[in-house]
Amino acid sequence: MSKFYVTTAIAYVNAPPHIGHALEFIQADVLARYHRAKKDDTYFLTGTDEHGVKVYEIAKEKGVETQQIVDENAEIFISLKEILELSNDDFIRTTQDRHKAGARKLWEKMEEAGDIYKDTYKGNYCVGCEAYIAEKDLDENGMCPNHKKKPKLLEEENYFFRLSKYSDKIREAIESDRLKIVPESRKNEMLNLIGDGLHDVSFSRPKEVLPWGIDVPGDDSQVMYVWGDALSNYITAIGYSAESEHFKKYWPADVHLIGKDILRFHAGIWIGMLMSAGVEIPRAIYVHGFVTSEGHKMSKSLGNVVDPLEYVEKYGADALRYFLMREIPTADDGDFSHGRFVDVYNSELANGLGNLVNRVVMMTEKYAKSRVPNKAGSDVYEDLKEYFDKYDVAMKGFDIKETCDVVMRVIDYGNKYLDDKKPWILAKEGKDDEVMEVLYRSLDILRYVCMLIAPIIPATCRKIIDQLGIEVSEDFSEFGELKVGGNVKKADALFPRLEE
């Protein structure tokens, strides 16, 4: 049995979840569910980043303890497991003791390697990014390119990480694909960024500036900066502090799934930290783009911010899951348009999948008294095998959008099969055996559709297999056959058409 450990970037708790969080969490969930269905020993981690300047300042403005703010916001992110039908095995919070212990151990290992030193740093600091920004990376107006605000000029005595020492090793790992970065364009971007070499990075903040964080081991006048704190969650969550059997089993991570704006931190600083501490590096980093709204960057002032929770409440989790996986290019930027959401919902979920299920179930009721007929004729699997192969290639290549396309091609195949065979005509002609063959094959096509949609829209998969009376394991790794003579149930429409 193979192992598969997938992580998302932990979410910062200064604001509620947005559509970008939903995109990333669902992408990781699809990968985890796919690997569980393949019988891989799968572990899926997500969580929250709860230290830093922004959340501390929000708490000060509200006149409450910072812990209260992070607890309230973390609960919202934890609730996404149920709301978005996520299957994460763990949820790490950076204010938990298990995390703090692991983060301190990692720091001490880096210090033992001679890679932590104290110095004075002067630079442009963006509060929004919670990071220093090089002069060359500011826009033409001297603003942070992400937040469009002028950074503060700060001068502090901090601890530094000797990242430059590992620059060549990091470059070699990326070039050789020992650290695989997907898509290829992001790999090239990272190699260009490394250029002539990476520079040492500030690794702490004075507690007088930021009292909300993890104390630096041996110096309680300083707190760990975001690199040593947040990035270490990928190993602290699985037992790095005690080097538990759980840690030994799942590390290194098979996939870090992140947004394009934090690639340099994950493929540069994080990899250097691990090399310094003598810990294996992850196997791959999958990078997704940003989600715009109606063709524009999401902004409260424009009134185009998409709240994923509103869409789930109104249309269901699977409708949102499918749209994000189908419509947004998996590894690139994409747009969320309400009009397009309705179009995809109606054309592919209601008219495509929903219609196929309804047709097959209704015809089985009419011509076979709602019972699965005897198996006859050729095996459906052989006709669909090319689709399964393409589906696997796309999933393994981090192209979930393509897997959705393959699913739709199988659904179209099923609808076309009924249109071509016309069992209603065969029934009028008295060709009962042929009708039963068409019905059995159509039911089996639905069974295979369920296998394909299980990672993407799991709740819908469950509804269909319940109608077909198929026995399926909780993780979809065991998928039963159709039971000849078994009852095929009618049910409400899976996706009622939207008129808006």
451-480: per-residue pLDDT in tens? 999 999 999 999 999 999 999 999 999 999
**Contact (CB, 8 A) for 152 and 125:** yes
**Amino acid (1-letter code) at residue 143:** M
Between CA 9 and CA 194, with CA 125 as vertex, the angle to 5 degrees is 60
> Long-range contacts: 363-368, Cβ < 8 Å, 24+?
363/418, 363/423, 363/424, 363/439, 363/442, 364/439, 364/443, 364/488, 365/488, 365/490, 367/423, 367/427, 367/435, 367/436, 367/439, 368/435, 368/436, 368/439, 368/488
Q: Are 139 and 145 in contact (CB under 8 A)?
A: yes
Residues 6+ apart with CB under 8 A from 216: 107, 159, 204, 222, 223, 224
For 404-449, the pLDDT digits (tens) are 999 999 999 999 999 999 999 999 999 999 999 999 999 999 999 9
What are the structural domain ranges in the chain? 3-289, 338-468
pLDDT of residue 122 exceeding 80, the answer is no
- Closest C-alpha to 55, from 13, 100, 94: 13
Backbone phi and psi for residue 464, each to the nearest 5 degrees, phi listed first? -70, -45
Token digits of residue 222: 């300083």
Q: Comparing 427 with 302, which gets the higher pLDDT? A: 427
Selected residue with higher pLDDT from 246 and 304 = 246
pLDDT recorded at residue 102: 98
Omega before 183 within 30 of 0, i.e. cis? yes
Token pair of 342 as six digits: 């309705």
Residue 143: is its pLDDT beyond 90?
A: no
Average pLDDT over residues 204-211: 91
Q: Which two tokens stand for residue 215?
A: 């104390």
Name, in order, each residue with C-beta under 8 angstroms of 64's C-beta and a sequence gap of 6 or more.
Answer: none
Per the CB < 8 A criterion, the answer to whether 86 and 43 are in contact is: no
Which residue type, as a one-letter code, is found at position 497? R
Average pLDDT over every residue of 123-144:
77
Confidence band (pLDDT; 50, 70, 90) for 293?
A: confident
Is pLDDT above 70 for 300? no
* Higher per-residue pLDDT: 296 or 193: 193
- Which one-letter amino acid corresponds to residue 304? N
Scanning the structure block, which residue is given the tokens 């501490």? 277
User: In terms of Cα–Cα distance, which of 92, 272, 289 is closest to 179?
Assistant: 272
Once rounded to an integer, what is the mean pLDDT over residues 355-366? 97
How far from the centroid of its chain's Cα atoms is residue 148's Cα?
A: 27
State the pLDDT confidence band at 130, using cuts at 50, 70 and 90: low
Section 64-79 average pLDDT: 96
Q: Is the pLDDT of residue 301 over 70?
A: no
Give 313's contacts (C-beta < 8 A, 6+ positions apart): none
Least confidently predicted of 53-57, 124-128, 190-194, 281-285: 124-128
Task: Kindly state the tokens that stand for 420.
Answer: 């071509």
Span 3-289: which CATH code?
A: 3.40.50.620
Report the C-alpha gap between 480 and 463 in whole angstroms.
15
At residue 294, the pLDDT reads 83
Mean pLDDT over all residues of the chain? 94
Q: Say what the pLDDT of residue 196 is.
A: 82
Per-residue model confidence as pLDDT tens digits over 316-328: 999 999 999 999 9
338-468 has which CATH code?
1.10.730.10
pLDDT tens string 73-101: 999 999 999 999 999 999 999 999 999 99
Provide the pLDDT confidence category of residue 124 given band limits of 50, 70 and 90: confident
Query: Residue 222 and residue 121: Cα distance in Å, rounded?
Result: 14
Which residues are known to be catalytic? 18, 21, 126, 129, 144, 147, 297, 300
